[in-house]
Homo-oligomer: A and B are copies of this chain.
Amino acid sequence: MPPKGFRASAVAAGLKYPDRLDLGLIVCDNFQASTGVFTKNICQAAPVIWSKARADNARAILANAGQANAQTGSEGMSDCRESARQTALLLGLETEQVLLASTGIIGRRINTSALLAALPKLTESLSTNGFGDFARAIMTTDTVAKIAESEIIFTSGPKASVWGAAKGSGMIAPNMATMLGFILTDAAVDPGLINTLLKDAANSTFNRITVDGDTSTNDSVFLIASGASGRAPITKGKDSKSFEAALFCVMESLARAMVRDGEGATRLVEIVINGAKDSDQAQKAARTVAESPLVKTAIFGADANWGRIMAALGRSGAIFEPYKVNIFLDDLLWVANGCDNGKDQEASQIMKLKEYRILIELGAGKSNYNMFTCDFSHDYVTINGSYRS
Contact = CB atoms under 8 A, between A and B. Distances in A.
Nearest to A323: B73
Interface in A327-385: 335, 337-340, 376-378, 380-385
A387 interface: yes
Nearest to A211: B293
A193 interface: no
Given A307-B106, A339-B73, A322 B43 contact: yes
Contact of A384 (B70, B297, B323): B297
Contacts of A171: 294, 311
A107 B70 contact: no
Interface in A200-234: 212-217
Nearest to A306: B107
Contacts of A213: 291-293
B339 A71 contact: yes
Contact of A386 (B105, B214, B303, B322): B303
Contacts of A108: 307, 340
B308 A106 contact: yes
A125 to B, nearest CB: 31
A347 to B, nearest CB: 11
A389 interface: yes
Nearest to A264: B381
Contacts of A389: 303
Contact of A294 (B41, B170, B313): B170
Copies in the complex: 2
A54 interface: no
A315 B215 contact: yes
A70 B307 contact: yes
Interface residues of A, number: 66
Listed residue (A44, A319, A339) with the most chain B CB atoms within 10 angstroms of its CB? A339
B384 A381 contact: no
A388 interface: yes
A329 to B, nearest CB: 14
Contacts of A380: 293, 297, 381
B386 A301 contact: yes
B214 A311 contact: yes
B300 A381 contact: yes
Contacts of A180: none
A72 interface: yes
A40 B315 CA distance: 7
A41 B339 CA distance: 17
Given A42-B320, A107-B307, A214-B315, 8 more contacts: A43-B314, A43-B338, A71-B307, A106-B308, A108-B340, A171-B311, A175-B315, A214-B312
8 contacts: A71-B340, A106-B311, A175-B315, A214-B293, A214-B308, A215-B311, A216-B311, A298-B385
